[in-house]
Each structure stands twice: as C-alpha cells, then as structure tokens.
Chains A and B, each alone.
Chain A
Amino acid sequence: MSVATAAAKERIRRVPESLTPNRLRTIVAFVAAIAVFVIGDILHPGFGSAESVKAILLTASFVGFVAAGQTFVVLVGGIDLSVPWVLNAAAILVVTTSLGQDGRAAWAVLLTLAMGLGFGLVNGLAVAFLAVPAVVITLAMNGIAQGLTLGLSQGLTCSSCASYAPPVVRDAVTGEALGIPGGLFLWLGIVLLMTFVLGYTTFGRRVYAIGNNSEASFLAGVNVRLVTVVLYMLSGMFAAFAGITLAAYGGQASLGMGDPYLFQSIAAVVIGGVSILGGRGNYLGSTAGSVTLVALVTLLLAENMPDWGRDVVYGGVILVILLLYGREKTAV
C-alpha cells in the first residue's frame, strides 16, 4: 500500500515532465550497457576497443532480432516460448532448402520466414480466438517445432542438413562495409523499423492500447484479435530471421542452437524496461538490454567464468533488474 502512495508521490515531484518513467527505463538500460563496456575496459584493457565492441554488438544482434518479436508480444501482455525451436527449425530449413547455392537463397529465405510466420499464426490464433494462455500454446508449439525439426531432419543426419548457408546470405551478415559487419546494418534497420512502427503508426498505438487495457481497446473499436495474431506472427518471423542470420554467421545449422535465445530474449526485454504485464516499454530498451546481456557474458568469459557461473550470473542479473523496477504496484 505504501508503495502505491510512494509511486504517486514520485510522479508528482518528478521534475522534468518529458522524462517519463518509460523514457527513464530506456535510458537506464543504455547506461547499463555503457557501464558494462567501461568496467570491462578497466578490468581488461581492450575490452572497449572498436574490434571488441563490434564483435560484441554482432553477437548481441541475434539476441536483438529475437527480442524484437518478443518485445511485440510482451507489449500486449503475452510471451513467446516457442522461440528456441522455431529459430532452430529456421536455421535448418534455410540451409537444407538453399543447399548453399546463391540461386536458391532468395526462395529459401522467404520460405523460412513464412515458416516462422506460420508458427506464429498458430500461436496467435490460439491466444486470440481460443483464449489459450500464451505460456501454454507457445510451449506446445515449441515442442511441435522441436519434434518436427528432429523428425524431418532425422536428427540432423539428412543429406542436405550439412549444407552451408548460401554465400550471399553469409555476406549479408558477416561481410563488412565501412568496417561494419552487415549484421549490424540489418539490426540498425530493424531498430529504426520497430521504433517507427511502435511510435508513429496506428498499429503501434493500438499495440500499446491493447497492452494497457485490452477490454477498453475492444470497446474503442480496436480489432484486438487481429492485432494479437499479427504480433505473434511477427514474433515467429523474427525468430526465423534470427535463425537464418545465425546459420549465416556460423555457416551451418546445429541442433540446440536456439536454446539460449529464449532466456536471452526475455532477459533483454526485461532489462530494457518492457513491462511483462504489457503496455510499457519500447524496442530501444530491448536493444540496450540485448547489448548489456551479451557484453556482460563476454566479460565473464574473459574473466574465465565457467559455464555454470554464467548461468548463475544470468539469473542473478534478471532478479536484480526485476527487484529494481519489475515490482507490481499493488501490495498483496
């Protein structure tokens, strides 16, 4: 109870009016990202060098791609747990259909993105029309994606499974222009696109409206179901997109390559200040969250932190962030 009052008081004494809590969270996320680089450079001179930052940002971009879709669904109070195997299926699908040939690359990429949209469509339809909890349906779809991927690729032993990603796709991610890898240009494009969609379009406005109050949005004539379905489809597509770029980055697909991305995408969204209850936050925050997370991991690796320690630190970081600003306002 006292917290509710404190929050209200805080709002009243807030000095610059344009510094809304939302903007503050985004700024905090960026400050955190920069702080990790600064601390890292002190502990390990060179950690903040251009080469190192470039490598870290490129690694973070894959988290960022997945987090884009995750941001969308979290903004309407949902969650997408089907990310790991949709991503993995996409990586395998793009190499097996393109067979490493540039001529087939375009079709392979489109087919793979369509596959992601398809999984998202099922998630969205179940959430929007059958009122199935997002956790349940996306977990089920993750299982289905996993089983189909394993079964159809015969456990990644199929003849085409060892194919490489087409050179043109690989160049798009790893090839450098002006000393900056293509993957970062892709990410920049997505950051701009997401910010534009969420901030300047009717679709974005409706997303925030639904996330804050879906009943009121419905009564205001917003097609809540349609928007929800589209958001889950986009989440599936972004997971597939991340799968394609990861296959391009590593050259080949492997089993289990999507596993880290569920945790990381949700972590990035939370660190970025997007409320898990929906309606608050933006993709810039999630972007900063992705960078913070990956930079932190890289730093810990440089500190020779073993695998187990990384997992523990991951969880710890999330808990600290949550305790800082993820608390529910109403007292129990």
Chain B
Amino acid sequence: MPPSETQPRFRSRSRWGHFSVQQAPLLLSFAILAGTFGVYVGLFVANQHHFLTPFEGQSIVNTALPLVFAAVGQSIVVLTRGIDLSVGGVMALTNTIVASNMHASTGSMVAWSLIGLVIGAGAGLVNGCLIAFGRLQPILVTLATLSIYTGLAIKVLPEPGGAIPVEYTKYMANVNGPWGLIYVAGLLLVWFVFRRTPFGVAVYAIGNDQAAARASGIKVRPAKVGVYVFAGTLYSAGALFFSATTLGGDATAFDPFILTSIAAVVLGGISFFGGRGSAVGAVAGAFALTLVTPLLFQANVNQLYTDAFQGLFLVLAVVLAGLVGRLVSARA
C-alpha cells in the first residue's frame, strides 16, 4: 500500500512526548550515569587538579567492558521475564579454557576467542533447553548450571593461572586508543539490529505476556532457547575482555558478575516483570556501577566497602525507579 498523506493522523502526543513517558526508566538510567560520572570527575579534579586524560578514560571503559557485555546478556534474559544466575559460571568456564590454551599467534588468538564464544553459546543452549523444553524455573535452572559450569571451570584450572598473551590485550583492552568505545559501539549496533529482527520482537512479546505471545503466533520455546544462547555468547565475550585485562585464568573471579550484571539491568531501567526496557540502559547501568570503585577511591573510602556501596547503589536505584514509575503512570 502506498503511504498517502491525505489521511488524517491522530496523535495523542508528540513522538518525543511518547518517548519520554514510555522510556522514562531509560532516561533515568542516563541521568544516574551522568550523575555518577559528574561526581567522579568532580572528585578526580579536586584531587588531581586536572581533567581526566584519554588514558584514564579509556582504562575506565576497558574495566567496564566485561560487565557491559554481561549486562546486555542479562538484559535479554530479564526481558523475557527470566533471570540468569549462571553468568558467573559461563564467564569462568570461558576464561579458564581460553587462558589455558591461547598462544601469542594471531591464529590461536582468533581461534580461541571464537571457541570461547561457542562455549558461552553452548552453556546458554543447555540453560535454554532446560527452561523452555523442561518447563523449569529460570532461577533454579541457572543456579544449578552455575554450580556445574563453575565446577567445570575449576576442573580446567584448579588454581588461578594460565596465561593470556600480552598481544591479546593490545587488541581487546588497549588503553592507548579508543578501542573500548568501539567495542561498546559494536555491541550497541548488535542490540540495534537485534531489536529489528523477528527474534527481538519475540523476546519483547514473550516478556509482555507469554500466553498472548503464543496466541499471536510467536514460537515461544525456540525463542526462549535463542535468548539464553545469545546471552551466553555475550557473557563469554565479556569473559574474553576480562581475560585480556587480567592476563590469566581464575575460576573463582566471576561470582561478582552475578550481582553486578543484575544490578546493571536494574539500574538500566529494565522491568523485572519482563517486556519493558532497553539494553542501552543496562550499558549505562554497567558504566555507572563500574564507576563506583574509582569514585570510592577518589573519595578516600576503604575499598573493602565497595560491595556495600554497589548494593546501596542498587537499592537506591530500585527505589528511585519505583518513584519515577509512579510519577509517569500518574501522568500517562
């Protein structure tokens, strides 16, 4: 049908008006990131008497990368009304296998990076099949597979060790160029494309109302499996960035990602009741959360308190999101 301009078009508010009401949580996540960044820069300038250098900026981006990828994976799961606790296990398994096998040659680095991603996809496939075809609760399945994947990671690398070639860091976590930002941009592009595929539509529909999605002709089970595979792949990508920064393998280093990936999703304004929100918010949330550590350092707070402040940050975000939600629904 050719679009005809003659038809009268009813709009209850402008495009921006709709956006600001419907995406209020996303806008809130940007505000939280801006606020956190502002406080950090303020403290930094007060202490160091100069602005952030590109080096410092890039190192923050590099530190954030593993969480940014894990958080986007978690977002997709949460959008379907699920939760993935196995993120720590998947990352540990990827990290230990890659760290025990990768050599300094380009071929080896490429091959083991790809193998790492396949490991994540495979782990996600197991989660997804158990949840979709076994009709089990995501929280219990991923709690069980967290234990299994972590166990396998310990088998691969019983003690912290292994070695990631230094060259790998040059590609993945180089502080002498805006590489980190390019990876983030690439991830956002993946998200942008995902949002425009039938798969993306299915993810939102399932999160909105699984029964309605099914009645609307969406294949719920394959889509759910796809969600966990996609998420697992993103966790592994996060683990690769982590490996490139730490230059080694450690099966026990990834438990914090369970909390922080969920926290980033909450900060990003994605509803835990599914179907609402954008992974772009989770990216903002991941950056805000990553800034907590350097911010506490600049504020001269003992690093031992980091977890407490991250938890507190999460609680405040949840409360704030609830209040904003109420305000918006009163307006709409």
Residues of A within 8 A of B (CB): 79, 126, 130-133, 135-137, 139-148, 150-151, 154-155, 263, 266, 270, 276-277, 306-312, 314-316, 318-319, 322-323, 326-328, 331-332
Please list the 8 inter-chain residue pairs (A to B) with the smallest Cβ-Cβ separation, ordered nearest first.
A147-B308, A311-B151, A143-B311, A315-B148, A315-B147, A147-B307, A144-B311, A318-B144
Whether a CB of chain A sits under 8 angstroms from the CB of B210 is: yes
Q: State how many angstroms separate the Cβ of A194 from the closest Cβ of chain B.
A: 22
| Docked-complex contact A143 and B137, CB < 8 angstroms | no
Q: How far is the CB of B318 from chain A (nearest CB, A)?
A: 5
* Chain B positions within 8 Å of A311 at CB level: 147-148, 150-151, 154
Contacting pair B134 A327 (CB below 8 A): yes
What would be 20 A-B contacts, judged by CB atoms less than 8 Å apart? Answer: A126-B318, A126-B319, A130-B318, A136-B318, A139-B311, A140-B263, A141-B315, A144-B315, A145-B308, A147-B309, A150-B305, A151-B305, A276-B139, A277-B137, A309-B151, A314-B144, A315-B148, A318-B147, A319-B144, A328-B135
Q: How many angstroms between the C-alpha atoms of A133 and B265 in the bound complex?
A: 13
Q: Which residues of chain B are near A130, meaning CB under 8 Å?
A: 318-319, 322
Residues of B in contact with A (beta carbons under 8 Å apart): 83, 130, 132, 134-137, 139-141, 143-148, 150-155, 158, 210, 214, 220-221, 224, 258-259, 262-263, 266, 272-273, 302, 304-312, 314-315, 318-319, 322
Contacts of B258 in A (CB 8 A): 139
In Å, the complex CA distance between A83 and B315 comes to 17
Extra pairs beyond A143-B307, A276-B137, A322-B144 (10, CB < 8 Å): A139-B263, A141-B315, A146-B308, A147-B311, A150-B308, A309-B151, A315-B144, A322-B134, A322-B140, A326-B140
Residue contact A308 to B136, C-beta cutoff 8 Å: no
Q: Given A141-B311, A277-B137, A326-B136: A136 and B262 within 8 A (CB)?
A: yes
Contact A144 B154 (CB under 8 A): no
Check if A331 sits within 8 Å of B308, measured CB to CB: no
Residues of chain A within 8 A of B224, CB atoms compared: 332
Complex Cα–Cα for A318 and B145 (A):
9
- In angstroms, Cα B137 to Cα A322, docked, is 9
How long is the Cα–Cα vector from A266 to B310 in the complex, in angstroms? 24
Check if B305 sits within 8 Å of A147, measured CB to CB. yes
Interfacial chain B residues near A79, Cβ < 8 Å: 139
A140 in contact with B135 (CB, 8 Å):
no
CA distance A144 to B318 in the complex (A): 15
Residues on A with beta carbons closer than 8 Å to the beta carbon of B146 = 263, 315
Q: Are A307 and B154 in contact, with the CB atoms below 8 A?
A: yes
B147 x A314 contact (CB < 8 A): yes
Measured CB to CB, the nearest residue on chain B to A135 is B83
> Which B-chain residue is minimally distant from A143 (CB atoms)?
B311
User: Contact at B314–A263, with CB atoms within 8 Å?
Assistant: no
Closest to B271 in A: A133
Compute how far the CA of A143 lies from the CA of B309 in the bound complex, rounded to whole angstroms. Answer: 8
Q: Once bound together, how far apart are the Cα atoms of A133 and B263, in whole Å?
A: 12
A82 to chain B, nearest CB (A): 9
**Residues of A contacting B272 in the complex (Cβ-Cβ under 8 angstroms):** 133, 135-136
Q: Please state if B137 and A148 are interface contacts (CB–CB under 8 Å).
A: no
Query: Provided the pairs A147-B305, A266-B143, A308-B155 are in contact, do residues A139 and B259 lie with their beta carbons within 8 angstroms?
Result: yes
| Contact status B318-A137, CB under 8 Å | yes
Given contacts A263-B143, A319-B130, contact A155 B135 (CB under 8 A): no
Do residues A308 and B214 form an inter-chain contact, with CB atoms below 8 A? no
Asked if A310 and B311 make an inter-chain contact with CB atoms under 8 angstroms apart, the answer reads: no
The distance in angstroms between the C-alpha atoms of A40 and B38, with both chains bound, is: 61
Residues in A whose Cβ lies below 8 Å from that of B302? 151, 154
In the bound complex, CA of A314 to CA of B250 (Å): 21
- Are the CB atoms of B315 and A140 closer together than 8 Å? yes
User: With A and B bound together, what is the CA distance between A147 and B144 in angstroms?
Assistant: 26
Q: Is B144 in contact with A144, judged by CB distance below 8 angstroms?
A: no
Partner of B307, one of A146, A277, A322: A146
CB B139 to nearest CB in A, in angstroms, measures 7
Complex contacts, A312 vs chain B, CB 8 Å: 147-148, 151-152, 155
On whether the beta carbons of A132 and B318 are closer than 8 Å, the reply is yes
- Partner pick for A135 among B154, B262, B307, B309, CB 8 A cutoff: B262
Closest chain B CB from A202 CB (angstroms): 29
Q: Within 8 Å CB of B305, what residues of A?
A: 147-148, 150-151
Q: In whole angstroms, how far apart are the Cα atoms of A37 and B156 in the complex?
A: 31
- A331 contacts B135, C-beta separation under 8 Å: yes
**Of the residues B83, B148, B214, contact of A332 by C-beta under 8 Å:** B214
B137 in contact with A144 (CB, 8 Å): no
Q: How far is the CA of A144 from the CA of B311 in the complex (A)?
A: 5
Per a CB cutoff under 8 Å, which of B134, B154, B306 touches A308?
B154
